[in-house]
């Protein structure tokens, strides 16, 4: 229960109001208290919970947000506003309330847990098969492929540059898993360089996944950016690699319309 000493009194032009004070650890006060029961507007989705629930994990964004009124905003109805899609905020609250883990939309909830920096939930979700394969094992593999992200960005830039006058655009890729593979491709790469033709080279890398695993990952990550792309072995019409090198050259085809 609030006592009279827990409130400061102020006067507006037309009425009196009560303002709850925030007490610090030294029993001093500064500003507003977050109320025990909190109404939330998360990107247009409405939730009701307690401040203790939101502050359950110190260091998370929610704990930080609802530990100081200076870091929160309110909508026109007085609800605390979080400017993020609220579609998957419900499972986040369920975990904060009772430790309940989601049984569906696992990747989407995982992204929200990462955003709100709820580390125990992130770790639990990463142990689930839906996340472990796609977000953990695959990510660890790609971190061991030199220049993967930079090559991906360059592929998209090259494809977009060619798309100005074409329905489709293609990007030549050389993927080599080992140093021995790279040696097989050396002469073909020299020919391409002499002809001033651009080729994106992936590898070599020192992990188990094969070339097809790498190419599938490239396709997956490009499609995740909204592009329509396929890949296949490089055709003779595009480029004729030297003997022994054909299995390492591929064409990624971007379709624009």
At 207 the pLDDT is 87
Chain length of the chain = 257
Low-confidence ranges of the chain (pLDDT < 50): 1-31
At 237 the pLDDT is 85
Helix (H) or strand (E) holding 7: strand 7-11
Q: How many CB atoms lie within 10 A of CB 213?
A: 16
How is residue 39 written in tokens? 């109404």
Query: How many Cα atoms occupy the beta-carbon half-sphere of 200 within 13 Å?
Result: 23
191 and 185 in contact (C-beta within 8 Å)? no
At 27 the pLDDT is 27
The burial of 196, by beta-carbon neighbours within 10 Å (0-12 exposed, 13-18 middle, 19 or more buried), is given as exposed
How is residue 176 written in tokens? 């080599």
Ramachandran area for residue 213 (φ above 0: left; ψ -120 to 50: alpha; else beta): alpha
Query: Strand 29-32 vs strand 80-82: parallel, antiparallel, or unpaired?
Result: unpaired
At 70 the pLDDT is 55
Ramachandran area for residue 7 (φ above 0: left; ψ -120 to 50: alpha; else beta): beta
202-233 pLDDT, tens digit each = 999 998 899 999 999 999 999 999 999 999 99
């Amino acid at each position: 229960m609030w006592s009279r000493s827990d409130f400061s009194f102020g006067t507006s032009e037309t009425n009196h109001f009560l303002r709850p004070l925030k007490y610090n650890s030294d029993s001093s006060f500064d500003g507003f208290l977050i109320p025990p029961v909190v109404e939330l507007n998360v990107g247009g989705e409405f939730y009701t919970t307690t401040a203790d629930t939101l502050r359950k994990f110190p260091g998370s964004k929610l704990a930080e947000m609802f530990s100081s009124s200076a870091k929160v905003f309110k909508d026109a109805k007085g609800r605390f506003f979080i400017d993020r899609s609220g579609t998957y905020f419900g499972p986040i609250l369920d975990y904060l309330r009772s430790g309940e883990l989601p049984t569906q939309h696992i990747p989407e909830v995982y992204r929200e847990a990462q955003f709100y920096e709820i580390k125990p939930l992130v770790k639990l979700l990463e142990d689930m098969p839906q996340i472990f394969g796609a977000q953990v094992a695959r990510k660890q593999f790609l971190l061991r492929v030199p220049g993967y992200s930079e090559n991906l960005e360059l592929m998209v830039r090259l494809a977009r540059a060619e798309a100005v006058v074409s329905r489709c655009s293609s990007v030549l890729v050389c993927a080599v898993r080992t140093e021995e593979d790279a040696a097989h491709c050396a002469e073909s790469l020299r020919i391409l360089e002499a002809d001033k033709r651009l080729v994106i080279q992936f590898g070599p890398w020192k992990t188990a996944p094969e070339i097809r695993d790498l190419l599938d990952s490239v396709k997956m990550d490009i499609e995740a950016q909204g592009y329509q792309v396929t890949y296949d072995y490089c055709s003779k019409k595009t480029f004729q690699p030297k003997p022994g090198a054909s299995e390492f050259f591929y064409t990624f085809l971007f379709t624009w319309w």
